[in-house]
Structure 1
Amino acid sequence: MKINNLTLAIIPMFFIACNSDQKASSTSDSTHKTEETASKDPHNAQNSLDWAGTYTGVTPCADCEGIQTELTLNPDMTYILKTNYMGRDTHFPEDRGTFKWDSTGSKVELIGLKDGPNLFFVGENTVRLLDMEGKEVTGPLADHYVLKKIK
């Protein structure tokens, strides 16, 4: 009879212990899901900004006065890029093509552009030309890699 009473006392403890482990696991899972959701912010440049339009600026040039740049991003995912090497060119050569957004929805890649960097970070009323590795240009000339929206 003493064995049965001991068994009856242990069984509820077993269920209580299992239940608290499930709650801890459930809490851990929900914390993980919350962190995962936070890292995948649904608001990004692609779906939250009025990014379509024309952006202009003068970017640095190693062997000229600057590169007069005009980039038009169209809602149909096409682009027009015009560049003028100031002091060397008298016209604005044009590159046309399509672009795609990166997985974060914050950068665009100009497809098929062979000469020069083809990645831009999209901000509010600006696009920032990125280096060949897709990283932001830093240093004293960093602000010269920003094109401002004109229309």
Structure 2
Amino acid sequence: MKRNLLVVTVMGLLLVGCDQKASTEVVQPEQAESTIVAAIQDQAEVIADAHNARNALDWNGTYNGILPCADCSGIETQLMLRQDGSYMLTETYQGKEGGDVERSGQLEWNAAGNTVTLLNDNGSSIQYFVGERRLFRLDREGKRITGDLAENYILQKQ
């Protein structure tokens, strides 16, 4: 008898537990939008505070190197990055007369804070990945140059 009473009690508790309806909360569109906006702002602050080349490295200064050249012995390159977001680039094509090119303009950082794009007045641009006391020249697609000559596409900070 006690055993039957115990079985009936357990069955009753199971039925009561299964009968509960899930509580649903109705969220107004305005509430949802403000919640999403707040979450995005929080995430943006985390990204802005993240350590990257732009905020963790001493990136401004003068970088030098000799980059490969298809029709000369090399391109002697001097690039000055300034804290105000401007740059000055001097390229000397070795073994060519009148091979000096000077450019200046503004630089832009990518969203990750690790790559600068040198913007030119003529609409073209050059990208460099910013490392510790080094700049790595990137190809036209913004990727690191690989292969046997990869080490020749690095400018060293002076």
Q: Could you say which TM-score interval applies, normalised by the shorter chain? A: 0.7 to 0.9
Specify the code of the residue in structure 2 equivalent to 1:80: M
Using the TM superposition, give the Cα deviation of residue 93 of structure 1 relative to its aligned residue in structure 2, in angstroms. Answer: 2.4
Specify the code of the residue in structure 2 equivalent to 1:43: H
Q: Deviations over 1:34-62 (max 9, x none)?
A: xx99xx58111001000000000000001
1:10 aligns with 2:15: yes
Structure 1 counterpart of 2:67: 59
The answer (yes or no) to whether the contact 1:109–1:119 under 8 Å persists in 2 is yes
The verdict on how the C-alpha distance between 1:140 and 1:116 changes in structure 2, with shifts beyond 3 A counting, is: farther
TM-score by length of 2: 0.70
* Count of aligned positions: 127
Specify the code of the residue in structure 2 equivalent to 1:103: A
The answer to which structure, 1 or 2, has the higher relative contact order (CA under 8 A, 6+ apart) is 1
Paired with 1:49 and 1:82, the residues of 2 have a C-alpha distance of 23
1:49 aligns with 2:57: yes
Structure 2 counterpart of 1:77: 85
The answer (yes or no) to whether the contact 2:92–2:101 under 8 Å persists in 1 is yes
Using the TM superposition, give the Cα deviation of residue 94 of structure 1 relative to its aligned residue in structure 2, in angstroms. Answer: 1.1
- Select the structure of larger CA radius of gyration: 2
Using the TM superposition, give the Cα deviation of residue 112 of structure 1 relative to its aligned residue in structure 2, in angstroms. Answer: 1.9
Structure 2 counterpart of 1:95: 103
More deviation, 108-117/123-132:
108-117
Structure 2 counterpart of 1:31: none
Structure 1 counterpart of 2:135: 127
Q: What are the ranges of 5 or more consecutive residues in structure 1 without an aligned counterpart?
A: 19-35
TM-score by length of 1: 0.73
Aligned residues with identical type, % of pairs: 40
The verdict on how the C-alpha distance between 1:76 and 1:94 changes in structure 2, with shifts beyond 3 A counting, is: same
